[in-house]
Structure formats: C-alpha cells, structure tokens
Amino acid sequence: MTLDKEELGSGERDAADDYTPSQRRRDRERYRRARARRATAIGALSTLVTAVVLYLVVVSAPGWPRTKETFFDREYALEALPKVLEGLWLNVRLLLICGAAVLVLGMLIAVARTLRGPVFFPLRFLAAAYTDFFRGLPLIINLMIVVLGVPALRLQGVTVDPVLLGGTALTLTYSAYVAEVFRAGIESVHPSQRAAARSLGLSNRQALRYVVLPQAVRRQVPPLLNDLVSLQKDTGLVSIGGAVDAVRAADIIVGRSLNYTPYIVAGLVFVALTIPMTRFTDWVTARMDRRQAQGGAI
C-alpha cells in the first residue's frame, strides 16, 4: 500500500511537471501584462505632465524670485539641516516615550469604560469624562496650559522642564483618542467570545485578558498606527515651551536670518520621517484586509 501511494504521488508530480497552459490562458496572461504595462506608462506620463505644469505655474508667478530667495535658499538650508537633525532626536525620543505611555494609558481608560456592573459606574463616568474633555480640548491649548500653567503654580517637587511637561500634554491628549480606538476594538468582539471563555471556567478578568483584548488589539492595529503617525508630527509643538526640537532649531535660525528656508527643511525632515510609518500602516491595513477577505484570523 505504501508503494502504491508513493507511485501515485510520483505520478501526480510528473503530471504537474508536464503541465502546459493552454493557448487561451497564455493569451489572457499576455493581455493582462500588456494592460498593466500600459496602465503604468499612462500613470507615469500623467504624473510627469502634472509635475511640469505645476512647476511652470509656480516659476512663472510674479513673486517667485522673492519666494525662492526667502523659502528655498540653499545656503540657509545647508546651515539649518545639521541643527534640525540634532533637534529631531528630541522629537524621536518624545515619540517613543509618549507613544508607549499613550498605549498603556489608553488601554486602561478603554478597559475602565467597558467594565460591567453598577459598582463600576463611577469609574466608567470618570473615563468617559476624561475622553470627552481631552478629545474636545485643542492640543495647542492643552500644551499651553500644561507647559506654561504648571510652572506658574510653583508646586514643590513638580518639574518645570518644558520637554517633560510637553510630553505630558501630548500623552493626555492622545491617550483619549487611543482609548476610543481600543474601546471600539473591545466592543467589536462578539459577546459569544466572552461567553465561551466563561463557559470554559475563565473569570471575567481572564476572559478580558486572554480572549477579548488580543482580538481587539489585532483589529485596531491600523488606526493605532495612524494615531502614532499623528503623534510623531505633533511632537514638534513642544517647541512652544522653549524645548529645542527640530522646529525650535529652525525657528532660532529664522529669527536670526529672517529667512524661512529652515522651516522648509524642518518640514521636509518630518515628512521623510513620517512617510515610512505611513507606508507601513498602509501595508498592515492591506494585509489584514486580505486575511479577512480570505476568512483568516484577524
């Protein structure tokens, strides 16, 4: 019997090796490749034409020479780039530290909002009030209140470092947004999952930890990454308190030279840092969509 199976398997492999697609299938694949090449060529040509038109419109504007001198000066760009990159390290550190704090605090707030039972009503109320307040409060105002207001109180043992205070304000605001993302993920898990976990002898806390939260987090990865991309850009707002980050480093040069090229340099540096995170978010989103469409685990 073993020999027959081996012979059958060998025969199937030989048949697979000898397979030759039909002429119709080859024509179809050739047509698809030609269509893909045509679409790529049209897209490249339209992009080139659009870029040329925009360039001509900008360059032919009456104020272009003055704008070029004020915003696109090569000398000031080379002067600003090292200082902007040095200040960018502060933005990266804020992203890493505040991002971790936001995820932890946001998860705790989301869990508090989804607790069941009347005994947890005060906790649910406070969590809801927190998210409503900090989602409604503009980030720039929150930063001014924390960075400028806390030192004015002259509290003993409370830091006046603008970096720490600015990071605190960022964490307070973004944890409210992330908490809603986590809460949406928790509520998207079907109640039968929790009931099945309870039927297996797990407590409510164990069901939440081992069954509900893993599914909720996996489903909310794309919006969480989008929030982190936004956080990365908003770390530049800590400069309002005097912290020397990439934006503040550019501002110092602008204040001395009255040329705005350093702002362009700082903006391009943030864009260069943000694009890989954005593309990674798009890749994760597309991958999860494909798995969901194929019936795989989300």
- Residue 1 confidence (pLDDT): 44
Residue type, 196: A
Helix, strand, coil % over all residues of the chain, rounded to 5: 85, 0, 15
| Dihedral pair phi/psi, residue 189, rounded to 5° | -75, 130
- Give the separation between CA 220 and CA 294, rounded to whole angstroms: 19
Cβ burial, residue 183 (10 Å; 0-12/13-18/19+): buried
- Amino acid 17: pLDDT: 57
> What is the reported pLDDT for 68?
86
Q: What's the pLDDT at 174?
A: 95
Runs of H (alpha helix) within 115-190: 121-136, 139-144, 150-153, 162-188
Task: Report pLDDT for 103.
Answer: 92
Ordered per-residue pLDDT tens for the chain, 298 residues: 444 444 445 555 555 556 687 888 888 888 888 898 999 999 899 999 999 999 888 888 888 888 888 898 889 999 999 999 998 999 999 999 999 999 999 999 999 988 888 888 899 999 999 999 999 999 999 999 999 888 888 888 888 888 999 999 999 999 999 999 999 888 888 888 888 888 888 887 888 888 888 888 888 888 888 888 899 889 988 888 888 888 989 999 998 888 899 999 999 999 888 888 888 888 877 887 777 666 555 4
pLDDT at 12 (0 to 100)? 52
Calculate the dihedral angle through the C-alpha atoms of 57, 58, 62, 63, rounding to the nearest 10 degrees.
170
pLDDT of residue 169: 94
CA-closest candidate to residue 102, choices 26, 186, 178, 153:
178
- What is the DSSP code (8-state) at residue 146? I
